[in-house]
Amino acid sequence: MALFTSHLLLTFALIPPWQQPDEHRHVAVAELHAAQLALRIPPGPTAGSLYDPAREGELLESMARYHWWEHRNLRGEPPWFLARDFDAAAPPIGSSDRSNATRPTYYLVVGRLLSWLPPLSVVEDLYILRAVSAIFGILTLWIAWLGSRECLGTLGGSTVVLLLALHPQFAIVSTAASGDALVNLAGACLWWQATVAVKRKFTLLPIGGMWCAALIGASADRMGIPLLAVAFVASIAAIKPYVTSRQLRTLFTRTTVVAAVASIGITAWIIDVLGGYYDLGRLLTQSLTPVPEAMTWDFFMRFTSFVHQSWWFSLGWVRYAPPSWWATTAALITMIAAIGAGRRLLQGRNFDTQTRTLITVAATSLVVQLSAVYYVYFRFANGAQGKSLFPVLVPCLVLLWTGIEAWVPSSRRGHAAAALIVILALLDATVWSLVAIPAYYASF
């Protein structure tokens, strides 16, 4: 907790306002919700109105004051004339999309919070939203401890939580004014409830908790929608051991089919409700065949490499990347862990049945989330940030530790855990010293 709090304080002190991706739009939409909830403006879409409830002009002035264009474009300059709304800016920086952003859970939560407060400056509202994300990040850390300890015991749970506390990109995402931290918390809660459902005597309560977490994550961001599939897989894993007789197996099969149909129905409903905000119609109606630009091995390797690197660290709009040796070291750790986890799963070494089931669920979660990332971004030849995998970040770190400890004897696992934590701590300190601080220190 001390390590993670120090990261949060560092990011709050170091990263200037508006220097996290799309913070200006998130604040604009949150302020619109707050104004509507406080009845300062009539509820409903206001696009095209001469009245600017989201104070986009003030936002643009603040963005210029804190060097948004310089960091966004690498030594770029703000336009000589600052417009009064995002679409009219030169170059345009994107609309707040007020007419379609009225439903997602994150905006409802932070909008309600801002509505309880007196009107503040846009920078003050920004830091309130950043503080909300930090609270979500702290809760994610504690939930990760509960789930990982349930799955791997005290040593494994402690190791996973330390890896999470030292993960540089997790600290950055947990201090951004966006819905990412809420989705990450929902994913951690799903994993925790899955471990309870599998490890303890079967009850409907943890399964219900999994589905509640999945629904919250899916309604907060499109990258949370795969959590519905993860919840379905985890539910089947929790129920299966209690299916013994032939009659029960038949009932279980029928129930599984019904649950699958229900899952599809729930997912379709969420897509329909959030379709305007996520533009999911294009994802569902276009052919599954990737665009020509994506049909090359070179693009596949660049796309995969970038997702992996930005999963570990990327700053701003992925403008500030770690040194090549740093990324290579992180890739080696990932490769060693992936091979070790695969060997351990296939051989069933040192796993009881319940733990093996949970590790399989963790691996399935990663596959599901990766599939969603490639489906949404890769086939359109768009770049994807590694934070898109953070809804299943805790299971990923469980797999990372499981794979590393597969290479050492049982008597040496404590030493392996300490070595892995020290290595990640050095990588973490290095990337902040060599990349983050030089990038932003001069902005103040």
- 102 vs 186, which has greater pLDDT? 186
Closest by CA position to 225, among listed 178, 174, 261, 190: 190
At residue 299, does pLDDT exceed 90? no
Alpha-helical runs (H) found in 279-412:
280-285, 297-312, 324-347, 353-376, 393-405
Q: If pLDDT is split at 50, 70 and 90, which confidence band does 441 have?
A: confident
Mean pLDDT throughout 70-87? 70
The pLDDT assigned to 47 comes to 44
59 or 187, which is more confident? 187
What gap in Å lies between CA 63 and CA 82, rounded to an integer? 10
Residues β-bridged to residue 320: 315
Residue 14's pLDDT is 92
pTM of the model: 0.88
* Cα 326 off chain centre by: 22
pLDDT band for position 99 (cuts 50, 70, 90): very low
Q: In the prediction, which pLDDT does 189 show?
A: 96
Query: What is the spatial distance between Cα 84 and Cα 326, in angstroms, rounded to a whole number?
Result: 42
| Distance between CA atoms of residues 364 and 72, nearest Å | 36
DSSP labels, 129-179:
HHHHHHHHHHHHHHHHHHHHHHHHHHHHHHHHHHHHHT-HHHHHHTTSSSS
State pLDDT tens for residues 105-116.
Answer: 888 889 889 989
Q: Please check the confidence at residue 50 and state whether its pLDDT lies above 50.
A: no
User: Which two structure tokens, joined as six digits, stand for 24?
Assistant: 């200006």
Rounded Cα distance between 367 and 90, Å, is 41
- Tens digit of each residue's pLDDT (9 = 90 or more) over 121-166: 999 999 999 999 999 999 999 999 999 999 999 999 999 999 999 9
